[in-house]
Amino acid sequence: MVKLFKNMDHGLLFVTVLLFGFGLVMIFSASNIVSFMRMDRVPYYFLERQAIFLAVGTVLGGIVLTISTKSYRWLSRLAIVFAIGLLVYTHFFGRVVNDARSWIYIGNASFQPSEIAKVIMIIWVACFYEYRRKSTNIFSSGLFPLAIVGIIFGLIFMEPDLGTGLIVLFIAGFIYIITPLDSTLKYKTLAIGVLFMILGAILYTKGDLTALFNERQKSRGDYDNPCSEEKFYTSGNQLCNGYIAMNNGNLTGKGLGKSTQKYLYLPESHTDYIFAIIVEELGYLTALFILFLYVVLLARIINIGRRALTDRNAIICYGVAFYIFLHIAINLCGISGITPMTGVPLPFLSYGGTFAICLIIALAVVQRINIETRLSFEHVSRVKRKSKR
């Protein structure tokens, strides 16, 4: 394990620990009032649970560090079948939370299969396209993986969880674009994809598809002018209170723990809207520093991908970077009112067990790739030194 730690990307590890540690502090600050006043629990209830999730993720991440990426090809096949099976089980037997059947409960513990499916899909698609990179068969190499991704999207969409489903589609599309496949194969597959998009647009404009969305999702789509008199107490309440929180913060904030909007004005203060609480308590300067740390983290992951020894490992790194970037972009666009808030958590900072564990595992995979790259370079250097003697 010492050898593994030595060959990890220590910059990436430092930023990861720093963000998760800061996230724990802010989860406690943002959730203690909700925990005590709304849930009748101790103020540090969510802090304890998140700490447990991070401990579990760290153990699983340590196990992932010991697994060679050479075994990812057959492991990812089993994992993608397992992920689809979990989503099918969730569709029929999952528990409904916030109007979506997205959770599986085992005793008092629960997890969200759709979050697990994201990370598994990144690894499986990367392994699949590396194996098929020289193929020009449109059906087996172009459409088959996209069909699998379509099944995953459909199962998540039916929960219904449109935000997570779109992230799955975007990640798969991004990976497909960057893979070193035959250009003709890409053009054919993209053409078929565009036809399906046009068909979907026609169905959307000509038919009434509102029945596919529940009331909670419909209300999220009504985010224009949220602070107006008619929307403040309905569809615009949460977004407008988020604006108020960020306006209260100014440059340096009101002080850690001194948010007023977390006093039940902002319902999702420790999950979707935790960034608004960070701005209110610690100000825009701290928010900018967090964004800087995100840029550093993504740059480290991309750099590991650039130095990776195989296309598979490079694609996995780029996929994980895009996965994290999408979560950041969608969450921040949601709280700023640029797009609807879809319930996508902010990486490292939002409360959420399944997402935190999956994020740690994804970063452990990236670290494993970096370990293998460094060990290979060290081996080559040793061979060169021996040959000179």
Can you tell me whether residue 341 is helix, strand or coil?
coil
At residue 340, the pLDDT reads 81
Q: How far is CA 103 from CA 32, 175, 214, 321, in A?
A: 24, 27, 17, 26
Number of domains comprising the chain: 1
Query: What is the chain's pLDDT, residue by residue, as a tens digit (389 residues)?
Result: 778 888 899 999 999 999 999 999 999 999 998 888 888 788 899 999 999 999 999 999 999 999 999 999 999 999 999 999 999 999 888 888 777 788 898 877 788 999 999 999 999 999 988 777 666 566 666 678 888 998 999 899 888 787 888 899 899 889 988 887 777 777 777 777 778 767 766 765 655 555 455 555 555 555 566 777 666 666 677 888 888 899 898 898 999 988 988 887 887 788 889 999 999 999 999 999 999 999 999 999 999 999 998 999 999 999 999 999 999 999 999 898 888 877 789 999 999 889 999 999 999 999 999 999 998 877 666 666 666 66
Q: Which two tokens stand for residue 218?
A: 């419909």
CA distance 213 to 242: 24
Torsion of CA 217, 220, 224, 225, to 10 degrees: 140
Query: What is the chain's Cα-based Rg?
Result: 22
Asked whether the beta carbons of 119 and 111 are under 8 A apart, the reply is no
Q: Which two tokens stand for residue 243?
A: 């604006």
At residue 143, the pLDDT reads 74
Amino acid in the structure at residue 134? K
Q: Which two tokens stand for residue 279?
A: 């701005």
Can you tell me whether residue 58 is helix, strand or coil?
helix
Can you tell me whether residue 111 is helix, strand or coil?
strand
Asked whether the beta carbons of 16 and 301 are under 8 A apart, the reply is no
Q: What is the pTM of this model?
A: 0.90
CA distance 123 to 118: 9
CA distance 109 to 105: 6
At residue 387, the pLDDT reads 66
At residue 105, the pLDDT reads 87
- 291 contacts: CB under 8 Å, gap ≥ 6: none
Name the residue among 84, 209, 86 with its Cα closest to residue 151: 84
At residue 308, the pLDDT reads 93
CA distance 389 to 143: 53
Q: Helices marked H in the chain — which ranges?
A: 2-6, 10-33, 45-65, 72-93, 113-131, 144-157, 162-178, 183-206, 215-220, 237-249, 274-306, 311-335, 353-388
At residue 135, the pLDDT reads 61
Can you tell me whether residue 44 is helix, strand or coil?
coil
Q: Give residue 305's domain range.
A: 2-388
Amino acid in the structure at residue 180? P
CA distance 364 to 119: 11
